[in-house]
Amino acid sequence: MKERANGITVIIPVFNEFEGIARILPAFEGYISRSKFEVTLLLVNDGSTDKSLDEIKKIAADSERVDFISFDKNAGLSAAIRAGFEKSTTKWVGYIDADLQTDPMDFLKLEAMIPAYDLVTGRREGRKDSTVKNMSSAFANWFRDSMLHDGVHDSGCPLKIMSRSAALDMPFFKGMHRFFPALTLIQGKKVIEIPVSHFPRITGKSKFNVWNRLLAPLQDTIALRWMMKRQSEYIISEKSVKRQKAVHHE
């Protein structure tokens, strides 16, 4: 299917967010009306065990702006986002969490920086999370930047726009969503970070704990640093140029 250059698909992973799904489309109305792109919302049900899928089907049926895909079982945030990249048919893809702790209107700030950058990522100002969550995230971000030197302060911010081609060129692994800036820079592409708003969670519960917020990301950071150190670069100085012979069909 041909890529839509004037479109952007906003990927919204969902795992047991039944209470908040009805808020999603109204929260996006302002952004959709002011965006310079034709906006599609793609909800990815990551094997929810509550009634999230039923609610997703309702809003998809009521709006041409909303599409969805659903996993048969929980596969994790990175898998949900990656599936969204693959399902999308637009030149640009966005990402936001279903809990709406970031503001869809801030996508307008990110839009203003493309196509000069391949990834525009948010930086949450005045985060409204718990002290433990904020501290573990701050340490993980410091460790990641110390190891990878991506120059980003809030790599895990759930508000991003990137080119779909850059997104699909990233290696897929569990936890990749924490490293979008570094994975974009590895490709030799451009990244910028923009301040965005942050709000307390209103519905649902956080899916993160000490293991998946701190320990696992540290292991992934070390693995990614190893991969960066093992990169091999080359420059082609010459190549043969031959005309392709025309093929005649009788």
pLDDT digits (tens, 9 = 90+) for 164-203: 999 999 988 888 788 899 889 888 999 999 999 998 877 7
Q: At residue 210, does pLDDT exceed 60?
A: no
* DSSP symbol at 170: S
Q: Name residues whose C-beta falls within 8 Å of residue 70's C-beta, 6 or more positions apart in sequence.
A: 44, 45, 47, 53, 56
With respect to residue 229, please indicate whether it lies within any of the assigned structural domains: no
- Is 110 a domain residue? yes
Phi, psi of 39 (to 5 degrees): -95, 130
Buried b (16+ CB within 10 A) or exposed e, 168-177: eebeeeebbb
What is the tally of structural domains in the chain? 1
Residue 56, pLDDT > 80, answer: yes
| Closest alpha carbon to 136 in 217, 222, 223 | 217
How many other CB atoms are found less than 10 A from the CB of residue 37?
A: 22
User: Is residue 45 a part of any domain in this protein?
Assistant: yes
- Domain holding 76, by residue range, is 4-129+153-201
CATH number assigned to the domain comprising residue 197: 3.90.550.10
For range 33-48, the mean pLDDT: 97
Residues 132/55, Cβ–Cβ less than 8 Å: no
| Domain membership flag for residue 144 | no
pLDDT at 230: 63
Cβ 154 vs Cβ 224: under 8 Å? no
User: Which residues, 6+ apart, have CB-to-CB distance to 203 below 8 Å?
Assistant: 17, 19, 20, 23, 99
Q: Does some domain include residue 241?
A: no
Quote the mean pLDDT of the chain.
85
User: Does the residue 228 lie in any domain?
Assistant: no
With respect to residue 38, please indicate whether it lies within any of the assigned structural domains. yes
Mean pLDDT of 153-167: 93
Determine, yes or no, domain membership for 165. yes
Which two structure tokens, joined as six digits, stand for 128?
A: 């409204």
